[in-house]
Amino acid sequence: MTLYLKLAWRNIWRHRRRTFIILISISMVMGLMMLYDGLIAGFEQAIYGNAIKVLGGNVQIHAAGYEAQAKQLPLLPLPDDTAILKAARARPEVLAASRRINTGGMATSREGAFAVGIVGLEPEVEGAVNTVAQRVTAGRFLSAADRDTAFIGKGLADAMSLAVGDRFTLVGRAAHEQMRQRTMTVGGIYDIGLADLEKRTIYVSLAEAQDLYGLGGSATEIAITLQRIGQEPALMAALRPIAAGFELSSWETSLPEMRAAIRSKGAAMDIFGVIMMIVAGIGIFNLLMMAVYERTREIGVLGALGLKPGQISLLFLLEGAMLGVVGLAVGIAFGLLINTLLGQVGIDYSKFASMTEYTALISGKIYSTLGVENLLQRGIVVLIVAIIAAVYPAREAARNEPAKSLHFV
């Protein structure tokens, strides 16, 4: 076996030019496929990432029993959450973990009544990471000391004819089901470019919400924002051991429509990816077949020297595998290099489209991931193609009479 390995290795480097062409093909194709994968994941983050942030974060922690009545947004206080909060914040992929009270209510002014979601949050924690906090068009974001102050969307402000400093009435449900009413002052207005979405949610400070709903010092939810979509399962697995008395869920549960959208978008991109593999596969196959057919005479010599067809096939199998492995290694290095670069710098599409003026939810700047999502599957396919393409013509030649192969032109 070692002999065959040695022979194969030597053969590869004896046909330097051929090997070089094949390696360029395999590695370019592999690198380009990684670029594709990285970009697709990057698009996903750009299109859905901010929406997930605004609509409640990547992962939520609730008290046990929340899920069963999640539609009613129950005011179930979390048990002691210091440990789990600390554990979550210690993870590198966590951008922010913040305590919230999440419920529904009604905002009324002289313009009418509007059903809204009410989110009590810790302004000092979320000020730096929450998209709405960065899209303030009037007034300012909340501060921890704020009392009777709400941070509302431009869509709601328009509909209710409210400006900063104006007052409106907020009616909410307290922990014991009776309605609580409070006059609030508009402290700031955010604009994320989608009026419908802005009408849906108003923000108050956590202390205010605790007061309004009689929840003492506790929160009903911990909302965790991650660097990118797809890191949720790992985080949830890491937190589960210390999550007794808590329920962990991700945006996939709270936003099923978006999950379906991403899934089926992903399915389309996967189909494209598979077809791309076929293109690459045919190319590599053709190239390697050519290279081996070119060596028919050499195979004749091997046969004349007494190598059995099986042994010749083995030799070419090893060569194909080696070419595949070396090509893949170079290709992966090439792909990682490009993707790291694009992940750092990002590609700014906002120059080509006026999109970003309209909505804060879709980012015009795309950062590639490393593109390792489908690496294993793509690598294996390339390797198998390389091996088949090397063995098939070799077997054919090896089965012939050596004399015939020797005279092959």
Site residues for another protein, window 283-312 (CB under 8 A)? 283-287, 289-291, 294
* Cβ neighbourhood burial of 365 (10 Å; 0-12, 13-18, 19+): middle
d(CA 283, CA 150): 61
CB 359 within 8 A of CB 193: yes
| Backbone φ/ψ region at 318: left (φ over 0), alpha (ψ -120 to 50), beta | alpha
Locate 356 and state its tokens.
């970003």
Least separation, in Å, of the C-beta of 262 and another protein? 9
Least separation, in Å, of the C-beta of 145 and another protein? 31
In the complex with another protein, the residue whose CB is nearer, 91 or 182, is 182
Site for another protein (CB under 8 A): which residue of 4, 15, 129, 372?
A: 15
Site for another protein (CB under 8 A): which residue of 8, 39, 97, 292?
A: 39
Q: Which stretch binds another protein (CB under 8 A): 18-26, 94-102, 131-139, 214-222?
A: 18-26
Q: Is 364 in the site for another protein (CB under 8 A)?
A: yes
In the complex with another protein, the residue whose CB is nearer, 128 or 345, is 345
Least separation, in Å, of the C-beta of 68 and another protein? 15
Q: Is 72 in the site for another protein (CB under 8 A)?
A: yes
Q: Which amino acid is at 369?
A: T
d(CA 134, CA 190): 8
Site for another protein (CB under 8 A): which residue of 94, 366, 383, 398?
A: 366
| Run of H or E residues at 40 | helix 16-44
CB 353 within 8 A of CB 364: yes
In the complex with another protein, the residue whose CB is nearer, 294 or 401, is 294
Q: Is 362 in the site for another protein (CB under 8 A)?
A: yes
Residue 187: how many other CB atoms lie within 10 Å: 24
Helix (H, G, I), strand (E, B) or coil at 359: coil
| Backbone φ/ψ region at 71: left (φ over 0), alpha (ψ -120 to 50), beta | alpha
* Cβ neighbourhood burial of 310 (10 Å; 0-12, 13-18, 19+): exposed
Q: Is 176 in the site for another protein (CB under 8 A)?
A: no
Close Cβ partners of 260 (under 8 Å, ≥ 6 residues apart): none
Site for another protein (CB under 8 A): which residue of 5, 237, 355, 403?
A: 355
Longest Cα separation, the chain: 100
DSSP 142-160: --TT--SEEEEEHHHHHHH
Q: Is 383 in the site for another protein (CB under 8 A)?
A: no
In the complex with another protein, the residue whose CB is nearer, 239 or 262, is 262
Least separation, in Å, of the C-beta of 388 and another protein? 13
Q: Is 111 in the site for another protein (CB under 8 A)?
A: yes
Q: Is 353 in the site for another protein (CB under 8 A)?
A: yes
In the complex with another protein, the residue whose CB is nearer, 42 or 123, is 42
Q: Is 253 in the site for another protein (CB under 8 A)?
A: no
Site for another protein (CB under 8 A): which residue of 7, 129, 164, 197?
A: 197
Site for another protein (CB under 8 A): which residue of 358, 401, 403, 404?
A: 358
Least separation, in Å, of the C-beta of 106 and another protein? 7
DSSP 203-246: EEEHHHHHHHHT-TT--SEEEEEESSTT-HHHHHHHHGGG-TTE
In the complex with another protein, the residue whose CB is nearer, 140 or 265, is 265
The DSSP bridge partners found for residue 202 are: 118
Least separation, in Å, of the C-beta of 391 and another protein? 16
Q: Is 116 in the site for another protein (CB under 8 A)?
A: yes
Q: Is 135 in the site for another protein (CB under 8 A)?
A: no
Least separation, in Å, of the C-beta of 103 and another protein? 12
The DSSP bridge partners found for residue 169 are: 108, 183
Site string for another protein, 212-251 (x = CB under 8 A): ----------------------------------------
Total chain residues near another protein (CB under 8 A): 84
Close Cβ partners of 178 (under 8 Å, ≥ 6 residues apart): none
Residues in 323-352 at the binding interface with another protein, rule: CB under 8 A: 347, 349, 352
Site for another protein (CB under 8 A): which residue of 1, 71, 217, 244?
A: 71
Torsion of CA 43, 272, 280, 29, to 10 degrees: 0
| Run of H or E residues at 289 | helix 256-293
Least separation, in Å, of the C-beta of 299 and another protein? 16
